[in-house]
Structure 1
Amino acid sequence: MQPIIMAAIMAFMMTGFVTWLNLGITPDFMLQWAKAVVMAWPLASVAAFVAGPLAPKLTQRIVKAVHGAES
């Protein structure tokens, strides 16, 4: 359930920002934003489920590489 909620928050925020960048504040801004969220949320959910297990592993590799370079 967490990836779905996280994806919803990310889709909501990102589509709002990108819609604003592309259109500005127009009379139909909210409608266009809502359409973008509906389109983005499913893809964001899939991405969250795929990236969820990979993110900690990748983070560990990056941290090891950074700390290994400091030694």
Structure 2
Amino acid sequence: MIPPRFAPYLFGFLLSGFMSAIVSGVATFRAAGLPPGFGGLWLGAWLTSWSIAFPSVLVAAPLIRRLVERLVRR
């Protein structure tokens, strides 16, 4: 099991992986259609986008949390 202190990192890792898979799949489909080898194209696009998405989530999450706190009434 993973210690609780790593929960925000695991959450960011899983969420960025899931979201980048969806977005890269849609973008790959729109750009290339459904050719033979679509899975390989998608996988390449996904791994590239995930390598950018995960660190972006780690940097952006605290800023977005603070912004949400300011925008939501207590």
Please state which band the TM-score falls in when normalised by the shorter chain: 0.7 to 0.9
Q: 1:25-57: per-residue Cα shift (whole Å, max 9, x none)?
A: 111111100001111111100011011101111
Gaps of 5+ in 1: 65-71
TM-score (norm 1): 0.81
The percentage of aligned residue pairs carrying the same residue is 27
> Does residue 54 of the first structure (1) align with residue 68 of the second (2)?
no
Separation of aligned partners in 1, 2:22 and 2:37:
18
Q: How many residues align?
A: 64
Gaps of 5+ in 2: 1-9
Which residue of structure 1 aligns with residue 46 of structure 2? 37
Separation of aligned partners in 1, 2:23 and 2:71:
26
- More helix per residue: 1 or 2? 1
